[in-house]
Structure 1
Amino acid sequence: MDYRVGRGLAASSRPVGFAVVTLAYVIAGLAAWLVVAALPERHPLLVTFIADLVATVVVFAASVVVANASLYDPYWSVAPAVIAVAWVLWAAGGDLAEITARQAALLALMLAWSIRLTANWAVSWRGLSHEDWRYVQLREQRPSWLPWWVINLTGIQLMPTLVVFGGLLAVWPATTVTDRPWGVLDVAAVAVTAGAVALEATADRQLRGFAGDPANRGRVIDRGLWRYSRHPNYLGEIAFWWGMWLFALAAAPGWWWTVVGPVGMVLLFAFVSVPMMDRRSLVRRPDYAEHMRRVPALMPRLGRR
Structure 2
Amino acid sequence: MWILDVNNLAICAIVTVAMQFMFFLIACSCKFDKVTDFAGGTNFVVLAVMTFLISWTFSTRQILATVFIVTWGLRLSGYLLYRIIKIGTDNRFDDKRENPLKFAIFWIFQAVWVFTVSLPVIFINAPRSSDRYDYITPQDIVGIVLFVLGLIIETVADLQKFNFRNNPANKGKWCDTGLWRFSRHPNYLGEIMVWLGIFVISTSILQGGQWTAVLSPLFTMAILLFLSGIPLLEKNSDERYRSNEQYVEYKNRTSPLVLVPPPCFSCLPSPLKCLVCCEFPLYNYLNGVQNFR
Question: TM-score category by the smaller chain?
Answer: 0.7 to 0.9
Q: Deviations over 1:80-137 (max 9, x none)?
A: 1111111111111xxxxx411111111221121112112211321227x82212222x
Check conservation: 1:281, 1:288, Cα contact below 8 A: no
Give the aligned partner of residue 32 of structure 2: 68
Q: What is the alpha-carbon distance in structure 2 between the residues aligned to residue 120 and residue 70 of structure 1?
A: 12
Check conservation: 2:59, 2:134, Cα contact below 8 A: no
Please show how residues 23-102 of structure 1 align to structure 2 within 5 Å.
43-92=7-56, 98-102=57-61
1:253 deviation in Å? 4.8
Amino acid at match of 2:222: L
Structure 1 regions of 5+ residues with no counterpart?
Answer: 1-41, 93-97, 141-146
Identity among equivalent positions (%) equals 24
Give the aligned partner of residue 264 of structure 1: 219
| 1:165 equivalenced with 2:118 (yes/no) | no
Give the aligned partner of residue 234 of structure 2: 278
Amino acid at match of 1:248: S
| 1:295 equivalenced with 2:254 (yes/no) | yes
| 1:123 equivalenced with 2:82 (yes/no) | yes
Match of residue 236, structure 1, among 162, 178, 190: 190
Equivalent residue pairs, number: 251
Q: Deviations over 1:159-217 (max 9, x none)?
A: 12212211111112211211122211111111111111111110011111211221112
Give the aligned partner of residue 289 of structure 2: none
Amino acid at match of 2:162: R
**TM-score, normalization: structure 2?**
0.78
Check conservation: 1:193, 1:243, Cα contact below 8 A: yes
Q: Which moved more, 1:102-111 or 1:291-300?
A: 291-300
Amino acid at match of 1:291: Y
Amino acid at match of 1:148: N
Structure 2 regions of 5+ residues with no counterpart?
Answer: 1-5, 266-293
Indicate the SS of the match to 1:73.
helix
Q: What is the alpha-carbon distance in structure 1 between the residues aligned to residue 34 and residue 249 of structure 2?
A: 32
Q: What is the root-mean-square deviation in Å for CA atoms of aligned residues?
A: 2.3
Q: 1:149 to 1:282 in 2, by over 3 A?
A: same
Give the aligned partner of residue 135 of structure 1: 93
Amino acid at match of 2:232: M
Match of residue 181, structure 1, among 125, 129, 134: 134
Q: What is the alpha-carbon distance in structure 1 between the residues aligned to residue 198 and residue 140 of structure 2?
A: 10
Q: What is the alpha-carbon distance in structure 1 between the residues aligned to residue 116 and residue 264 of structure 2?
A: 34
Q: 1:219 to 1:69 in 2, by over 3 A?
A: closer
Please show how residues 181-220 of structure 1 align to structure 2 within 5 Å.
181-182=134-135, 183-220=137-174
1:45 deviation in Å? 0.9
1:70 deviation in Å? 4.0
1:301 deviation in Å? 4.2
Q: What is the alpha-carbon distance in structure 2 between the residues aligned to residue 281 and residue 288 of structure 1?
A: 9
Match of residue 101, structure 2, among 118, 134, 150: 150
Q: What is the alpha-carbon distance in structure 2 between the residues aligned to residue 114 and residue 224 of structure 1?
A: 24
Report 1 or 2 for greater relative contact order, CA contacts < 8 Å, sequence distance ≥ 6. Answer: 1
Check conservation: 2:181, 2:254, Cα contact below 8 A: yes
